[in-house]
């Protein structure tokens, strides 16, 4: 089977026999890449990591044709609406969506896109939450195209996606916490991530970014997302007995 070789990508097999891939560039923190090379999720995250390299030419900028969706995406990434009008977490989420959109439709003419096309694409998305994120990302892209590449925004007038009513996530009981700890012993990555999340009351997107660079003099700095202020605090003694570093690969 042919292997896909990608710049800055390193892979290994973990202790459970599962392949792991990281985007590694000297002087920068490693970025985990989901799935396998060539998959949609993998390539979208790889594109995001690659786009964050200073002075990196915009992906596809030399091969896109004027007037196409690919050309629109390149221009949108360079715009103030993208670079300064969106929070970092929002850009990362929308970048993955836009990259999948470009991969499927990048060679098509922007001027030919109609609302019925957008509506049909929405029907192919499984969950209301995914539909909502997709529409927000593509709406931002197409609004940028008006009036230079589009006369009107095809998403104008489309109702926002309503999410199903929910009581929220179940809060784990003490018994459930101990059950998880019994299943994932000290030294495993799952246990370390869990203890960090429990100790810091952080979102998933905040925990996955934690690393040694955030710990200094017994204190940890949490970079909050969604507009929340960053926080720093000292570990409780009880935390240290649960959260030990993951075992190094041999």
pLDDT score at 146: 93
Please determine, for residue 240, whether its predicted confidence score (pLDDT) is greater than 60: no
| Whole-number average pLDDT of the chain | 81
Among the residue ranges 30-34, 35-39, 129-133, 210-214, the one predicted with the least confidence is 210-214
How far apart CA 23 and CA 118 sit, in angstroms, is 33
The more confident residue out of 159 and 229 is 159
How far apart CA 89 and CA 227 sit, in angstroms, is 10
pLDDT score at 55: 41
Backbone φ/ψ region at 66: left (φ over 0), alpha (ψ -120 to 50), beta: beta
Most confident of 60-64, 156-160, 196-200: 156-160
pLDDT score at 247: 47
How far apart CA 155 and CA 168 sit, in angstroms, is 30
* Per-residue confidence band for 116, with pLDDT thresholds at 50, 70 and 90: very high
Domain boundaries, the chain: 9-144, 174-242
In Å, how far are 152, 197, 233 from 218, measured between CA atoms?
Answer: 55, 17, 9
- Which contacts (CB < 8 Å, 24+ apart) does range 232-237 have? 233/200, 235/199, 236/199
Within 13 Å of residue 112, how many CA atoms lie on the same side as its CB?
Answer: 8
* Per-residue confidence band for 3, with pLDDT thresholds at 50, 70 and 90: low
pTM for this one?
A: 0.55
Q: pLDDT tens digit string along 15-68?
A: 777 888 888 877 677 788 888 887 777 877 777 777 665 444 444 445 568 889
At residue 234, the 3 state secondary structure works out as strand
């Amino acid at each position: 089977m042919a292997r896909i070789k990608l710049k800055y990508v390193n892979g290994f097999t973990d202790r459970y026999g599962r392949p792991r891939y990281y985007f590694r560039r000297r002087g920068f923190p490693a970025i985990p890449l989901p799935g396998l090379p060539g998959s949609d999720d993998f390539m979208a995250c790889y594109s995001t990591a690659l786009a964050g390299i200073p002075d990196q030419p915009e992906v596809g900028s030399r091969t896109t044709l004027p007037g196409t969706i690919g050309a629109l995406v390149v221009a949108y990434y360079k715009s103030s609406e993208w670079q300064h009008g969106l929070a970092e977490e929002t850009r990362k989420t929308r970048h993955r969506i836009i990259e999948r959109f470009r991969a499927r439709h990048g060679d098509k003419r922007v001027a030919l896109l109609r609302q019925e096309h957008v509506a049909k694409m929405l029907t192919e998305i499984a969950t209301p939450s995914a539909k909502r994120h997709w529409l927000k990302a593509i709406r931002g892209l197409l609004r940028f195209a008006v009036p230079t590449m589009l006369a009107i925004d095809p998403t104008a007038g489309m109702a926002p996606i309503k999410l199903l009513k929910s009581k929220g996530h179940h809060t784990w009981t003490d018994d459930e916490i101990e059950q998880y700890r019994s299943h994932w012993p000290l030294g495993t990555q799952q246990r370390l991530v869990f203890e960090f999340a429990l100790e810091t009351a952080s979102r998933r997107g905040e925990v996955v970014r934690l690393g040694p660079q955030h710990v200094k003099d017994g204190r940890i700095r949490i970079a909050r997302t969604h507009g929340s202020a960053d926080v720093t605090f000292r570990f409780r003694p009880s935390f240290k007995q649960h959260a030990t570093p993951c075992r190094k690969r041999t």
